Amino acid sequence: MSSAKLAPLNSPNKMKHIELSNIYGDTAYVTTDGGFIESLRLEDGRQILFPRQQLVDKDRGGVPVCAPVFGPGEPIGLAQHGFARNCTWEVVSQNQDEVKLTLVNPVSQVKNLPHEYNGCKLELTIELADDTLTETLVVSNVGDKPFVCSPGFHPYFATTGATHIQLVERRFTADELIAAQVLPGPATQICLKTEVAELTISVDPAAKFVVWSANPEKYICVEPTTRGFLDERNMSESMLLPSGSQKISMEISWEQ
């Protein structure tokens, strides 16, 4: 089965950058290009996220949305991590500390999209509160065919020359991180300590966490997913029926 690929954008909507801020002067930047959170900078200058940028290997950083699936999409005709991070989203509403985005017509942006995903609707809400950044994704099936749905988030957290990363009470080496580690679970909360900050990553509902980095001196990814990597074992459990929906919410918190 050939995998879905991006087509030229047919939508008249242009890419838009949105700045969110809280009472402390922290700022998060969101773009409709892929529905990314591109950066999260505290008032004191700390970059909580590794900002989205082009590195030698590929585009890295920020918080990509992995939807409608997390992990290999080839078995169901999709690209790695689905198509959400590669499409242009539309702004539904925005204010100082919150923005709501939607992606309702993926077939106009993705070549060779399997027919069942014509009915895939994505809604994304991003909110910057006093000491938390919350991202909520709702995947709905508004079509007449079931499709595989197993989404997740892929946040990149900034490090500063770390050779080992401490996650809860376990430390990871660079070799372990490049192989990607699926943590025991599901779990509702993970604590991450880097040289930049002590963070808590919470998820609702409970999720499988994946830890990975191709360059731990720059970033580490702690990724909440509904079922971990999509594979043959969990594919049958991941079907989203017509009129159904699936929700996953991630909260990143820190101490001011």
What is the mean pLDDT of the segment spanning 83-100?
97
Tens of pLDDT, residues 113-124 = 999 999 999 999
What is the mean pLDDT of the segment spanning 26-40?
97
Tens of pLDDT, residues 63-74 = 999 999 999 999
Residue 173 or 239, more confident = 239
Whether 8 has a pLDDT exceeding 50, the answer reads no
137, part of any domain:
yes
- Domain containing residue 243: CATH number: 2.70.98.10
193, part of any domain:
no
15, part of any domain:
yes
**Per the structure, how many domains does the chain have?**
1
220, part of any domain:
no
Tens of pLDDT, residues 120-143 = 999 999 999 999 999 999 999 999
Give every CB contact of residue 97 below 8 A, 6+ residues apart in sequence.
Answer: 20, 21, 22, 127, 128, 129
96, part of any domain:
yes
Domain, as residue range, for 96: 5-154+230-254
Q: How confident is the model at residue 13 (pLDDT cuts 50, 70, 90)?
A: low
